[in-house]
Amino acid sequence: MYRETEVIQTIPGTDEMVLNIGPQHPATHGVLHLVITLNGEIIKKVEPHLGYIHRSIEKMCESLSYRQFIYSTSRMDYLSSHINNHACALCVEQGLEVEIPRRAQYIRVIMDELTRIASHCLWWGAMAMDVGALTPFFLAFREREMINDIMEETCGARLTMNYMVPGGVMFDLHPNFVGRVKHFIAHFKSKIDEYDELVTGNIIFQNRLKNIGVLRPEDAISYGCSGPTARASGVSCDLRKHMPYEIYPELQFEEVLDNGGDSFARYLVRLTELRQSMHILEQLIDDIPEGDFQAKTKAVLKLPKGEYYQPIETARGEFGVYIVSDGSTTPYRIKFRSPGFSNLSVLDHISRGQKIGDLVAIMGSLDLVIPDIDR
């Protein structure tokens, strides 16, 4: 029996109390469990507890063939599923040493950038929602829905596409694809200014994010942050520039950097990346070369004995696929380096001394996808 008079208790000897945020909480975007120690509104410590959505994908992949395991990576970072699949395909191709047709490379890069835009759109809406504005979420979904429709037409699915296969892509582009992407670019260009008007310029929004959750460059490096999170601290880490894959070296785009390190810098970096991705799409969409969309590969793939690692720049940062092959049809060991895990680890460091409301804003600006963290 519970005692009638049992009330909220503080940690003995201090004025601090422990508050559980999650696993079911509107701010955590999934089943993340944060145990935070509070002194009034001030955060003293944040302890993320993981494992609520652990599906043992790495172990599962060990019993799947090199064609089969790719689909499961869509279920990790479901917002950049194309890019995850791309990394797996690249890693297998590295072992097979096959030449990817240029058309396939173009298609892959276009799909990656579309995925990045879709992911950042969702992040933008969710970020504004975390901070308390609800309308931007629907505006972001208007654009994201257009990309989803394009994906659905060409890849056959809206979220977990499984479009990349070792050697190229699964199908050729749909005849409507180019037209629809062009229409999307024109549409999005007119709408992205609305994003700025509604949210970026808003003084409440700026005050909520500026100087909140400051991540210094050295901390970003030592915690292993990557992607927009690290680039907002001035760490140049865009793998599309530094370890280029596919046709990225031929493309004109800038690595978006910001020296602020705070939540607002992370916000601005992502928003600028949206524009850069559009710039990349514009360069590619007009002259997709003719040719095969898939290289000829054997029906049963076998990687030569050895170790293969392929990092790739997802919407959240560096996603790495590490395959150890013993020469058989299934990988001996697969390890995924997910960007969300490292980006989450910095949460405690940057949110100490901030308020509860800031914690939510910081989590929004880190752009966490929980299945990516737990795998």
Partner 1 sequence: MGLRNYLSDVASGVKSLLTGMKVTGRLFLRHHKEKITQQYPDNKDTMVYPERFRGEVVMPHDDNNEHACTGCTACELACPNGTIKIITKFDVTPEGKRKKAIDTFIYHLQLCTMCNLCIEACPTDAIKMAQTFEHSVFDRSQLIKKLNQEGSKIREGVE
Partner 2 sequence: MMFSLENITNSIHEWLYANLNATLALIIEFAIIGVLVIGLFAALGLVLIMMERKVSSWMQLRLGPNRVGPGGMFQTVADTIKLIVKEGMTPDRVDKLLFNLAPFIVMVIAMVVMAPIMFAKGFQIWDINIGVLFVLAVSSISVIGILIAGWASNNKYSLLGAMRSGAQIVSYELSAGLSVLAIVVLSGGLRMSTIIDAQQTGWWLFKGHIPAIIAFVIFIIAVTAETNRAPFDLAEAESELTGGFHTEYSGMKFALFFLAEYVNIFVVCAIGATLFLGGWMPFHIGNWQAFNHVMDYIPSSIWFFGKTFLLIFIIMWFRWTFPRLRIDQLLQLEWKYLLPISMFNLLLATVVAIAGWHF
Q: Compute the distance between CA of residue 181 and CA of residue 107 in angstroms, rounded to an integer.
A: 12
Please answer whether residues 356 and 41 qualify as being in contact, where contact means their C-beta atoms are separated by less than 8 angstroms. Answer: yes
Q: Give the shortest CB-260-to-partner 2 separation in angstroms.
A: 18
333 phi, psi to nearest 5 deg: -150, 140
The CA angle 39-42-47, to the nearest 5 degrees, is 85
Binding partner selected for residue 194 from partner 1, partner 2, none, CB under the kind-specific 5 to 8 Å limit: partner 1
Partners of 363 in the β-ladder: none
Binding partner selected for residue 262 from partner 2, partner 1, none, CB under the kind-specific 5 to 8 Å limit: none
Decide if residue 292 touches partner 1 (CB under 8 A).
no
User: DSSP letter string over 156-181?
Assistant: S-SS----EETTEESSPPPTTHHHHH
Decide if residue 37 touches partner 1 (CB under 8 A).
no
Nearer to partner 1, 90 or 164 (CB): 164
Q: Compute the distance between CA of residue 79 and CA of residue 316 in angstroms, rounded to an integer.
A: 9
**Contact range with partner 1 by CB under 8 A, out of 42-50, 170-178, 217-225, 355-363:** 170-178
Residue with tokens 């050895």: 306
Decide if residue 155 touches partner 1 (CB under 8 A).
yes
Among positive and negative, which fits the CA dihedral 326, 69, 89, 112? negative
Decide if residue 170 touches partner 1 (CB under 8 A).
yes
DSSP classification of residue 314: -
Binding partner selected for residue 174 from partner 1, partner 2, none, CB under the kind-specific 5 to 8 Å limit: partner 1
* Site string (58-97) toward partner 1, x via CB under 8 A: ------xx-xxx-xx-------------------------
H/E element holding 350? helix 347-351
Binding site for partner 2 (CB under 8 A): 2-4, 6-8, 17, 19, 25-27, 41, 128-135, 137-139, 142, 198-199, 202, 204-205, 207-208, 355-360
Would you tell me the crossing angle of helices 177-195 and 135-155 to the nearest 10 degrees? 170
Take residue 220 and report the two structure tokens written for it.
Answer: 């970003």
Binding partner selected for residue 267 from partner 1, partner 2, none, CB under the kind-specific 5 to 8 Å limit: none
Contact footprint for partner 1 (CB under 8 A) = 64-65, 67-69, 71-72, 135, 138, 141-142, 145, 152-157, 160, 162, 165, 170-171, 174, 194, 197-199, 201-204, 206, 299
